[in-house]
Amino acid sequence: SGRRHASLFALQVQGLPLPTELDGLLQRTRRSLLWRWNTLKPVGGSCRAHTECGTNYCSRNNICTFWFNSP
pLDDT per position as a tens digit, 1-45 = 555 555 444 544 555 555 666 666 666 655 666 666 667 888 999
pLDDT at 61: 92
The per-residue pLDDT for 70 is 55
Residue 55: its pLDDT value, please?
Answer: 86
| Single pTM value for the model | 0.43
HSE (CB half, 13 Å, CA atoms) of 9? 6
In a 10 Å sphere around its CB, with 0-12 CB exposed, 13-18 middle and 19+ buried, how is residue 45 labelled?
A: middle
Q: How many Å apart are CA 28 and CA 34, to the nearest integer? A: 11
Across the range 35-61, mean pLDDT stands at 86
Q: How far is CA 32 from CA 22, 24, 68, in A?
A: 16, 13, 25
**Which of 25, 29, 28, 59 shows the shortest CA–CA distance to 45?**
59
Q: Where are the domains of the chain?
A: 27-71
